[in-house]
């Protein structure tokens, strides 16, 4: 049981770390980036739907997605 509780504590700590990193990246994003993040990631919509909903091209979508992922990786110390 002690090992299970320890692993649960580690997972919970990781989730909190990820949550904080996502919040920081989101708060520092432009309004257009926030729209994409909210629609694609939080709303779990497709790329096509997100592009249509946020009025951007597919290439702009990919640029924004790459930028957000790189910022998240930097925030987590992975890049």
CA distances, 4 to each of 9, 12, 41 (Å): 9, 12, 30
Residue 10's Cβ-side half-sphere holds a number of Cα atoms within 13 Å equal to 6
Residue 1 has pLDDT above 70, yes or no: no
Q: Which stretches of 1-79 are DSSP H helices?
A: 2-27, 31-36, 47-54, 58-75
Query: Can you give the pLDDT at residue 5?
Result: 78
Q: Give the three-class secondary structure for 57.
A: coil
Q: Which residue has the higher pLDDT, 1 or 53?
A: 53
Query: Can you give the pLDDT at residue 73?
Result: 96
């Amino acid at each position: 049981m002690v090992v299970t509780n320890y692993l649960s504590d580690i997972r919970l700590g990781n989730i909190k770390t990820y949550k904080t990193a996502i919040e920081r990246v989101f708060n520092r994003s432009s309004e257009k980036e926030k729209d994409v993040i909210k629609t694609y990631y939080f709303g779990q919509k497709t790329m096509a739907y997100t592009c249509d909903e946020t009025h951007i091209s597919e290439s702009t979508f990919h640029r924004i997605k790459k930028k957000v992922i790189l910022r998240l990786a930097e925030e987590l110390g992975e890049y």
